[in-house]
Structure 1
């Protein structure tokens, strides 16, 4: 793939973050990559190297960008050698697009694949980093993510051992499973050995409420209000009073940081107490150095670097928590959260809601308005025709008719729809105990703490499957009310379990939220049966990013 001579890499912007998770910079340095450009930049003519490598996802629009770059260089009579590296794999559609744009001859024989199906975000979380997968599947009717998911799970099996049994719920989940079986037949059955005891595949369509509901865990709120991009957030540096020049400060959020690992999954209302307790502990340790013996002083000095790291971490997370608290204590946030929780409890879901009317009249962010309408529609199993028509009319009148496509996409995805005679969400709420009124946020005994009152439907299904007698067979009537087919614990391969713990992989087709991950971690910690749980997903999503994916402004120019 890489031969001698200096080279220039031209990145697809959507890959910069994911690829940074596995840090291929040593590889780039080793192969004399001397410059890097973005595909969105107009020209690469300043590059001194003659060899250009395009690192890109397999998207037709990226092929258009590559073609524009190649044609631009040809018009300037710049002689270049081109290579394309597709992540994770090339597609016939992209090759056809290159041919139609007249540049396939420039790269023929120099097209490669970097089969990186999953990117590790945490010890227990891996992601395909395809945030548009759900929208592409439902709106664009592009099944590429199904193939990518099946290939990724097959690779996971090759690396960590065979999958013992599979359960799945939803149409997309069933498609992934069927394709995974076909890949297994082509490859042949893996050798009998230890591996993954149980693979659970969940279609995002079976639970549309969790991604649009406001997350209330510490990490979930950071993602909601700031946005976590590939385990990193960016904040104004002046917030930290560290003497840096005005600008942005990048903070990495993962479990390698002890304090963040301790508070990430807590409800935000419990984070303040946790930070205060940690601050008192650190202060007491510093104070204890007075009057120590020489041996005790040596032990203190040995611990000092770790204590300083915790102190710095404490300062960072105190600042972040204060920033979040300013927002969560505000009337707009509290009022909106109250309406959300009323909808979850089935209160005022069947009428035009005055709060949503006011929000539209005040022209607040359209994403916030659409999220509330989606929550009302989902919790009411659809809206009455007159209610839905009223909301659509008001949005088009206030925000502009160009949002008509966005509303159409939300309807097609099932986030807003006309109410039918059946009311499945009411049944689900009672049968699966999705809403818990008497739960504790500071000392939770139920996973509903991640939304204060609401337990994600997806994680409740995992709880019933793994820990409840009879598994999904005991709640077959409930599963029948969910969209798509059900596969219940179908044997996949023969495996040997050498220890008492079981390895369960929960794969979300269409993305999952930080709150759902926290709920699954909580579930494993609370239950007595030893289970090692890994979350795999097409992407990490939050209410804003999930809703924004369906936004498409109609352009009549």
Structure 2
């Protein structure tokens, strides 16, 4: 079920026309697309057999570790579609260089780069000495779902956190401008964060200043407002996703489409499972429900021949859970395992036979690993009891994870969680942690740890608040409730406040001190202003009011507007959005009330636009690059990318340390001589 009711057919038509125009212009026989963008491109182009001039054109998915198939050389015109990512362009060039000169001369090679090639991409193609025609394709955004527009760019998170205006951030800007072009100028623009401010001001300049066109010429947008939020404004929600069994189950299984709803209590074993299915063998072609733990129904179809295998696999999983439950003496871990065992049980409803997805079963086997339970148990302990933590035990566990060479993003996530939970770790352990990370994983992680320190994720005694303070404020014992219950992530709560013209009713849910909020509210009510505005409330949110603005010439909806009217809102998140945030947004969209007491879903319909839908681990992993870092220098008023080799960076830092040491030693010698 999707709550967003907005019609994006105009955007779909625009994307399709852009592709078809380039395919006709280059007379492309084969269009090769990487596996990340393949689904979006196929959906955008549509059925080419209905296009007279492109009936023989094929779209081929190019796997990440696969060379270009030799049989494609039989076709004369080859085209590649890629985003403006120099690593992808470099990979395509390396593939093409494998062809002999004779083979290559027979081909017409074109490269479609979205939205336009960066300086570094053009330089790579130029240095390759290959004859390649470059085309910009003005498609910065794709329709991922009815209520989700995606840029498919995982690097935007690092751009957002580090505050760099790079290609991915510009791509987000191009997407916003495209929406304005297709659906009209946004009457209201709200933004939070430094990059969000920059984007909103650029939108304003492009429409009203650069073009020098009066506002009346442009049609009013079909969207009532656009909200632009920088990922750096709310890094906590990204860090803590997944954080509970519900989100863990969802993230591990990587469900596409809708969320799943939960039913608990009864467990059907192998025999009961097959017996319930045999009663409905004749009900073929009927969608059957997979029941686990979440909020909306989802349906999966599998071959009926795989039912026995699925049932046997479920018995195996259940036995593993029971065995591990019996062996473990820790009451807290036993409780967690018992909850998980309840959540993976399947049972029959209303006489319909169950239908399961084999991928779900294979993925859930990961949850039976003892290492998973041990690490997750520590994460929950950190969140609930930061003041009662045995710091020596936690520090030893993190050090042990490094020695065992657990994937570095998991170690960094746990270390960041530890640091944020207690408001900063001890300086002695911080230095030891950095030393061990560089020793076990390599010097290329030095920039990563430095970035985490700059944004106060991994630091010593410098965090502004503890997670425990947020939990105690709302009286919830589990941070999972803060995400999936009445308390939304900060970014979602800010969105809800902006949507409402009168935010008095929801002010008590806003993160912050209750006393300060009520004191501020009383001051506002005593003043001449009789009603609160979003700008006033934003002053109480993390980050203060220094980077929160509303366009001065834009009008906020007044109280006299028709409450029955439904407003379409675009939420633009720079740096990617997590599943927890998207679920919270959809819960807001689904809130329905009575005619005299309308809820959020009766008045607003939010469509999310983000670089990508990712897990918390993916966001942290996209926050750094293991192979290279990118710096920027200004040349003639333009930013140019410079590739930085991590080994060279480490060598440079080491040489600097040696030089400093030599200077200190020489100074000591001179002092002794004196």
TM-score w.r.t. the length of structure 2 is: 0.62
Matches within 5 A, 1:345-384: 345=384, 347-348=386-387, 352=391, 354-362=393-401, 363=404, 364-384=406-426
Query: Is the aligned partner of 1:339 residue 2:387?
Result: no
Cα deviation, residue 356, structure 1 = 4.7
Query: Is the aligned partner of 1:15 residue 2:32?
Result: no
- Give the one of 537, 549, 552 matched to 2:626: 552
Larger-gyration structure (1/2): 2
Query: Is the aligned partner of 1:542 residue 2:615?
Result: yes
Cα deviation, residue 354, structure 1 = 2.0
Q: Deviations over 1:507-543 (max 9, x none)?
A: 1100110111111222344472421111111111212
1:139–1:409 Cα contact (<8 Å) kept: yes
1:434–1:456 Cα contact (<8 Å) kept: no
CA distance in 1, matches of 2:339, 2:571: 27
Cα deviation, residue 87, structure 1 = 2.2
- 1:394 corresponds to which residue? 436
- 1:50 corresponds to which residue? 76
The 3-state SS of whatever aligns with 2:75 is: coil
Q: Deviations over 1:309-344 (max 9, x none)?
A: xx43xx239x837953x5557654444344334444
In structure 2, relative to structure 1, the CA distance for the partners of 1:95 and 1:27 (3 Å cut) is: farther
- Give the one of 483, 486, 490 matched to 2:548: 486
- Give the one of 407, 410, 424 matched to 2:464: 424
Cα deviation, residue 100, structure 1 = 3.1
CA distance in 2, matches of 1:390, 1:412: 18
2:571–2:607 Cα contact (<8 Å) kept: yes
Q: Deviations over 1:105-142 (max 9, x none)?
A: x23xx432332232223221221111111224556945
Query: Is the aligned partner of 1:114 residue 2:147?
Result: no
CA distance in 2, matches of 1:521, 1:92: 39
Cα deviation, residue 88, structure 1 = 2.9
- 1:250 corresponds to which residue? none
State which drifts further: 459-468 or 25-34: 25-34
State which drifts further: 532-541 or 77-86: 77-86
1:119–1:127 Cα contact (<8 Å) kept: yes
- Give the one of 585, 604, 614 matched to 1:531: 604
The 3-state SS of whatever aligns with 1:536 is: strand
1:510–1:537 Cα contact (<8 Å) kept: yes
Q: Deviations over 1:145-169 (max 9, x none)?
A: 2221122112223333432312211
- 2:172 corresponds to which residue? 149
CA distance in 2, matches of 1:514, 1:84: 33
1:272–1:321 Cα contact (<8 Å) kept: no
Q: Deviations over 1:30-56 (max 9, x none)?
A: 352357363864455432011111111
Cα deviation, residue 215, structure 1 = 2.3
- Give the one of 102, 111, 116 matched to 1:84: 111
In structure 2, relative to structure 1, the CA distance for the partners of 1:140 and 1:69 (3 Å cut) is: farther
- Give the one of 425, 437, 462 matched to 2:495: 462
TM-score w.r.t. the length of structure 1 is: 0.73
- 2:573 corresponds to which residue? 508
Q: Deviations over 1:178-217 (max 9, x none)?
A: 2211222246436444621222111111121211214257
Greater relative contact order, per chain length (Cα 8 Å cut-off, separation 6+):
1
2:578–2:614 Cα contact (<8 Å) kept: yes
Cα deviation, residue 10, structure 1 = 3.0
In structure 2, relative to structure 1, the CA distance for the partners of 1:342 and 1:219 (3 Å cut) is: closer
2:188–2:226 Cα contact (<8 Å) kept: yes
2:292–2:344 Cα contact (<8 Å) kept: no
CA distance in 2, matches of 1:462, 1:329: 38
In structure 2, relative to structure 1, the CA distance for the partners of 1:260 and 1:19 (3 Å cut) is: farther
1:51–1:80 Cα contact (<8 Å) kept: yes
CA distance in 2, matches of 1:408, 1:97: 29
- Give the one of 523, 537, 541 matched to 1:475: 537
1:117–1:128 Cα contact (<8 Å) kept: yes
User: How many residues of Structure 1 are paired with residues of Structure 2 in the alignment?
Assistant: 491
- 2:321 corresponds to which residue? none
In structure 2, relative to structure 1, the CA distance for the partners of 1:191 and 1:334 (3 Å cut) is: same
Listed as ranges, the gaps of 5+ residues in structure 1 are: 233-239, 241-256, 287-307, 442-446
In structure 2, relative to structure 1, the CA distance for the partners of 1:15 and 1:526 (3 Å cut) is: closer
CA distance in 2, matches of 1:429, 1:507: 29
1:464–1:471 Cα contact (<8 Å) kept: no
1:126–1:535 Cα contact (<8 Å) kept: yes
Listed as ranges, the gaps of 5+ residues in structure 2 are: 1-21, 260-269, 271-286, 298-335, 505-531, 593-598, 628-645, 652-674
In structure 2, relative to structure 1, the CA distance for the partners of 1:129 and 1:113 (3 Å cut) is: same
2:570–2:608 Cα contact (<8 Å) kept: yes
CA distance in 1, matches of 2:242, 2:474: 14
- 1:253 corresponds to which residue? none
CA distance in 1, matches of 2:554, 2:290: 37
In structure 2, relative to structure 1, the CA distance for the partners of 1:546 and 1:417 (3 Å cut) is: same
The 3-state SS of whatever aligns with 1:46 is: helix
CA distance in 2, matches of 1:360, 1:195: 54
- Give the one of 449, 468, 490 matched to 1:407: 449
The 3-state SS of whatever aligns with 2:541 is: helix
CA RMSD of aligned residues (A): 4.4
1:165–1:490 Cα contact (<8 Å) kept: no
- Give the one of 32, 37, 58 matched to 2:56: 32
Q: Deviations over 1:257-277 (max 9, x none)?
A: 99589965479999998998x
- 2:360 corresponds to which residue? 320
CA distance in 1, matches of 2:146, 2:28: 36
Cα deviation, residue 70, structure 1 = 4.4
CA distance in 1, matches of 2:292, 2:565: 26
CA distance in 1, matches of 2:368, 2:250: 17
Cα deviation, residue 27, structure 1 = 6.8
1:170–1:203 Cα contact (<8 Å) kept: yes
